[in-house]
Amino acid sequence: MSEDILSEVRRDYIYRLIKNGDRIGGRKADEYRDVSVEKGIIARAEGSARVKIGNTDVLAGIKAQIGEPFPDTPDKGVIITNAELVPLASPSFETGPPNENGVELARVVDKGIRGSKAIELEKLCLDAGSKVWIIFIDIHILDHDGNLIDASALASMAALTNTTLPYIRYEVGEEDEALLIKDTPIATTCADIGGEIVFDPCLDEENASNIELTVTTNANGDISGIQKRGAGKIPFGDISQIVDSSRRLAGELRKKL
Amino acid sequence: MQNRPEKLINDGVRLDGRGADEIRPIKIEAGVLNRADGSCYIEWGGNKVLAAVYGPREAHPRHLQDPRKAIIKYRYNMASFSVEDRKRPGPDRRSVEISKVSREALAPVLMLEYFPRSSIDIFVEILQADAGTRTTGITAASVALADAGIPMKNLVSAISVGKADGEVVLDLIREEDNYGEADMPVAMITETGDITLLQMDGNLTEEEFIKALNFAKKGCESVYKLQRRSLIEKYEKSCSD
Amino acid sequence: MSEEVVIPGCFLGESVTAGEGTFVEENRVYSMVYGLVKRDKKEVEVIPLSGKYLPKAGDLVIGKVIESTFSMWILDINSPYDGLLRLSNYPKRIEKEDMQKEMRVGEMVITRIKEVEFPMRINLSMDDRKCAVIREGVVVEITHTKIPRVIGKGGSMINLIKKKIGCNIFIGQNGRIWLSGSDKKIELAAETILKIEREAHVNRLADRIDRFIKEKKKGKGKNAK
């Protein structure tokens, strides 16, 4: 995810630890760092949540607007997900339009939510063809210590469960209504480090690895998104075990919502 | 945009007459461009895709140079006329992401350490799109890289698999992509079985996912044979003048 | 066709020595380029059909001056890497102000790869009697992987061209070839060399080239095959 350059000795150290079944911070291969979810912290947003996974810190805010539907889906609302890797989060983040990492991050979160049908887009339609709710999910990375995707996906989901649609403000209803959430897709990411799979990689581990796999799973265990990242390759036979672990770990993360 | 066909699959037969695990007709030609160091043209079902490779050449701007190896640039670009509704020219978020994952899909086979400080530039133009453009692009780029004489450990083959009308199907067509339940592009080094690209949009049960993955593997094996043949044919043609 | 053409990743053998264009994984030798297999008693190598020239120390190449700085000339050597010809590696002592007079930007130079330093810094020298600035004739460029065909076995092809056409030919390892003589002879030699590049893999190439030159000299059959 990051272009930080890891020193050779640090890389060797990380490899050595993992080869010996150990890990920075003494975690097990499939153990997450401490995860905290704090909802409703931005009063002006329709919904918000701040998620910390270890030292990684992500804030997601939801804004809703009335707008026109896409011409090919006149009876459906719109979700737009955007991620900003703001420069306060890491010395390697720069100002300017989102780079490919930011774009990928936002799209992976977005596809997980869409794939699971967590939000019923039809329910966001106010007047077919002319008036629908447009839900903006904006992700701000505040502090980058690896595994931004899981933190961002969790923050986005948490913020959505905390969202109230402002019917009164837009004069389209008598009462504001909570956004209806049908499912809770959870992204879990693992990295391959010297042939060993570790979940929730911290920044140093990400930099020591050249391959990560994010698997998004739903409450019922179905898969609603997959993304392989990095210049490495995954043996065919490893995939199903990773998916199994992802599902199990997602179950634990889901409880934090 | 056309309306959703009532059924995508009728008694196991897809809209274009294929069975669930059959691929569309594919035609691959290596070395079709003059200026590029390597190139490839593919017609894959309704897709028409050109790939060109330039390099290794000096990496610009200079700060991008890596003293240990070559860097790879990959540009996936859809022609504005390649789709039904005109696509606004230039990179959008989708093409930025596709370019990134495609580059990462090819990286595992490229022996970049032979060309420190240089850049290998891959340009993929989607001239006509009919679902599976990124996998068609990767398949073409892989042939173009070999055609350019770039040292590689193997070819990368790619195909998309997904779910339509509740069934796992290989090599989606546009209708299945638009109205189906899942789309999963996969790239593999066929001979070793290593996966170099894996994405999934939509929803699959674990059972469906495993089935899809195995379909993709079979598909990549067929694609690999065609890639190989295109390169052999290019050489044979040069001998038979 | 007797030649065996392979694509990257083709298995070539087990207990054989891995030559150029190949790599080894778990004692098995594979091709790493698209090219033609060459097997010796013990060694297997793959001659690439295409690709960029990678400078090797000792190679004589033809470079084009693209920049002249205060202490060196920078030459494009038809490779991903530019060659650096430092004043200190120049055969005669010249003042910095006179560098432009010795070698101007745009001029072609026969030069030798002195050394290849990490990471691919190419130092050039002029310490070979063939090294010189090219001030007459024409330089043609072909894919460097076809250079062996132009030379032929033991120099047979190049000697054939020289003898039949009667012009001077210098072959740079980087795919650039310098032709000098009368314009007519240069034109025919250039045409012949491009034909060899195009038809490098055709059987009995020498016979075809011989015939081609003969017909051309008679001035008939523009499209002589």
Q: For a pLDDT cut of 70, what percent of chain A falls above it?
A: 98
The encoded tokens of residue C58 equal 């000792």
| pLDDT tens by residue, A103-140 | 999 999 999 999 999 999 999 999 999 999 999 999 99
Task: Please report the pLDDT score of residue A91 as a whole number.
Answer: 81
Alpha helices in chain A (DSSP H): 8-19, 100-116, 148-161, 203-208, 239-254
How confident is the prediction for chain C on average, in pLDDT? 91
Mind listing the pLDDT tens digit for each residue in A17-28?
Answer: 998 888 988 899
Cα distance between residue B199 and residue C160, in whole Å: 58
The pLDDT score that the predictor gives to residue B78 is 93
Q: In whole angstroms, what is the distance from residue B159 CA to residue B212 CA?
A: 11
- The reported pLDDT for the residue numbered C203 is 83
Q: Give CA C8 to chain center in angstroms.
A: 23
CA distance linking residue A98 with residue A81, whole number of Å: 12
Task: Look at residue C1 in the predicted model and tell me its pLDDT.
Answer: 43
Any chain C CB within 8 A of the CB of B241? yes
B138 touches B158 (CB < 8 A): yes
CB contact residues (below 8 A), chain C span 113-152, against chain B: 118-120, 145
Q: For the residues A91-109, what does the mean pLDDT come to?
A: 89
From the CB of residue B10, how many other CB atoms can be counted at a distance below 10 Å? 11
All residues at 6 or more sequence positions from A66 whose CB lies less than 8 Å from its CB, including other chains:
A126, A131, A132, A133, A134, A170, A172
| Chain B contact present for C8, CB below 8 A | yes
Q: Are B185 and B158 a contacting pair, CB within 8 Å?
A: yes
* CA dist., res. B1 & res. B15, Å (int): 17
Q: Which CATH number is C28's domain given?
A: 2.40.50.100
Nearest residue on chain B to C36, alpha-carbon basis? B235
Nearest Cα of chain C lies from the Cα of B138 at a distance, in angstroms, of 16
Q: Which two tokens stand for residue C108?
A: 């072609």
pTM of this prediction? 0.88
CB contacts of B241 in chain C (<8 Å) are 198-199, 202, 225
* Rounded Cα gap, residues A176 and B220, in angstroms: 51
Domain count along chain C: 3
pLDDT of B86 reads 84
User: Cβ(C83)–Cβ(C122) under 8 Å?
Assistant: yes
C86 lies in which domain range?
60-134
- Let me know: does A230 contact B104? Beta carbons within 8 Å: yes
**Stretch A219-244: mean pLDDT, rounded?**
95
Q: What is the pLDDT of residue C74?
A: 95
| H/E run at residue B127 | strand B118-128
* Residue C206 belongs to some domain of the structure: yes
| Tokens read off for A101 | 């990492």
* C54 interfacial to chain B (CB closer than 8 Å): yes
Is C196 within a domain? Answer: yes
Mutate to test the interface with B, among A3, A5, A103 (most CBs of B within 10 A): A103
**The dihedral of CA C116, C121, C122, C123: what is its sign?**
negative
pLDDT at C225: 41
Same domain membership, residue C116 and residue C69: yes
pLDDT of C119 reads: 87
- pLDDT, position C224: 42
Local structure of A255: helix, strand or coil? coil
Domain identity same for C205 and C169:
yes
A114 CA to centre of own chain: 13
Q: What does DSSP assign to residue C20?
A: T
Which residues of chain A make contact with B108, given a CB cutoff of 8 A? 231-233
Question: Do C77 and C117 share a domain, yes or no?
Answer: yes
Nearest to A243 among B93, B194, B206 (CB): B206
The amino acid sitting at C24 is V
Which of B56, B153, B232 is facing C8, going by the closest CB pair?
B153
Encode pLDDT of B80-126 as tens digits.
889 888 888 888 999 999 999 999 999 999 999 999 999 999 999 99
Is there a contact between B195 and A236 if contact means CB atoms under 8 Å apart?
yes
CB C149 within 8 A of CB C196: yes
Assign B213 to helix, strand or coil. helix
- Say whether both C71 and C129 belong to one domain: yes
Alpha helices in B53-159 (DSSP H): 93-106, 133-147
Cβ atoms of residues B143 and B231 within 8 Å? yes
- The count of C-alpha atoms lying within 13 angstroms of the C-alpha of B224, restricted to the half-sphere facing its C-beta, is 21
Optimal mutation site among B3, B68, B93, B120, interface A, most CBs of chain A within 10 A: B93
**Nearest alpha-carbon partner for B176 in B28, B79, B46, B41:** B46
Inside any domain, residue C119: yes
State the Cα–Cα distance between residues A225 and A117, nearest whole angstrom: 11
Domains within chain A, CATH numbers bracketed = 8-254 (3.30.230.70)
Q: Are residues C130 and C142 both part of a single domain?
A: no
What's the pLDDT at B241?
Answer: 61
pLDDT averages per 10-residue partition of chain C, 225 residues: 86 93 95 94 93 95 92 94 92 81 90 93 94 92 92 93 93 95 92 92 89 84 46
**Predicted local distance difference test score (pLDDT) of residue A239:** 95
For the stretch A131-170, pLDDT in tens is 999 999 999 999 999 999 999 999 999 999 999 999 999 9
Name the stretches of chain B with pLDDT < 70. Answer: 1-2, 241
Question: Nearest CA to C77 among C99, C60, C58, C101?
Answer: C60
Q: What is the pLDDT of residue B1?
A: 47
The C-alpha atoms of residue A105 and residue A138 are separated, in whole angstroms, by 11
Residue C159 sits in a domain whose CATH number is 3.30.1370.10
**What pLDDT score was predicted for residue C57?**
96
Q: Could you tell me if A79 and A137 are in contact, meaning their C-beta atoms sit under 8 angstroms apart?
A: yes
pLDDT at B3: 74
Decide if B159 contacts B186 (C-beta within 8 A).
Answer: yes
Residue at C162 is within a domain: yes
Residues of A in contact with B4 (CB under 8 A): none
ipTM of the assembly? 0.93
The pLDDT tens digits of the residues spanning A44-71 come to 899 999 999 999 999 999 999 999 999 9
% of chain B beyond a pLDDT of 90: 86
Q: How many residues does chain B have?
A: 241
Residue C138 CA to residue C180 CA, distance in Å, equals: 6
Give how far C15 is from chain B: nearest CA, Å.
19
Last residue of a domain, one of C97, C115, C134: C134
- Cα distances (Å, whole numbers) of residue C76 to A114, C106, C184: 52, 10, 28
Interface contact C49, partner B, CB < 8 A = yes
CB contact under 8 A, C52 and B149: yes
Rounded Cα gap, residues A135 and A81, in angstroms: 8
Query: Which residue is associated with the tokens 């189906």?
Result: B180
Determine the pLDDT at residue A1.
39
Helix C156-165 with C205-218: angle, nearest 10 deg: 10
Contact yes or no for B149 and C30 at CB 8 A: no
CB contact under 8 A, A107 and B93: yes
Number of H helices, E strands in chain A: 5, 13
CATH of B19-239, one of 3.30.230.70, 3.40.50.11540, 3.40.50.720, 3.40.50.300: 3.30.230.70
Question: Strand pairing of A56-67 and B47-58?
Answer: unpaired
Judged by a CB distance cut-off of 8 A, whether residue C83 touches chain B is no
Question: Do residues C144 and C127 both lie within one domain?
Answer: no
- Give the CATH number of the domain where residue C91 resides: 2.40.50.140
